[in-house]
């Protein structure tokens, strides 16, 4: 299982999570089995509000799960359509969020928890 965490910097497990998925400059990718860590730049980080393409940003990265602090309802729907489950965290540090995910302490993100609920 490959975990994706949107971050404001490229410090791997020491990175700080971005408050919003779509505008995160980096994705920290953690292999759930081996613990291997990679960092990828988010080529879709700059976009107009509401036009995030999360599925496009993650194409080819083999992501199964996203752990984030926040994202819009459209982004959540697009990720779910791609079979990617999104979990919500209150942590700011990647290592803490990964540990919480592994301990099954994170709730699945729902539309009620997105940054802008569907009208």
- CA nearest neighbour of 27 among 72, 18, 36, 35: 18
**Contact between 26 and 83 (Cβ < 8 Å):** no
The predicted-structure confidence for 66-82, as pLDDT tens digits, reads as follows: 999 998 888 898 899 99
Instruction: Evaluate if pTM is beyond 0.85.
Output: yes
The predicted-structure confidence for 76-113, as pLDDT tens digits, reads as follows: 988 999 999 999 999 999 999 999 999 999 999 988 87
Residue 49: pLDDT band (50, 70, 90) is low
CATH code, residues 2-113: 3.30.420.130
Burial (0-12, 13-18, 19+ Cβ within 10 Å), 77? middle
Domain spans, the chain:
2-113
**In this predicted structure, what is the pLDDT of residue 69?**
95
**56 has a pLDDT exceeding 80:** no
């Amino acid at each position: 299982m490959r975990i994706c965490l949107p971050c404001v910097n490229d410090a791997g497990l020491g990175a700080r999570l971005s408050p919003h998925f779509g505008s995160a400059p980096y994705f920290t990718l953690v292999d759930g089995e081996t613990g291997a860590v990679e960092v990828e730049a988010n080529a879709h980080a700059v976009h107009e509000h509401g036009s995030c393409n999360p599925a496009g940003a993650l194409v080819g990265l083999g992501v199964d799960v996203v752990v984030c602090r926040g994202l819009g309802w459209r982004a959540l729907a697009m990720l779910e359509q791609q079979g990617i489950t999104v979990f919500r965290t209150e942590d700011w540090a990647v290592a803490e969020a990964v540990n919480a995910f592994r301990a099954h302490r994170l709730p699945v993100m729902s539309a009620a928890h997105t940054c802008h609920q569907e009208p």
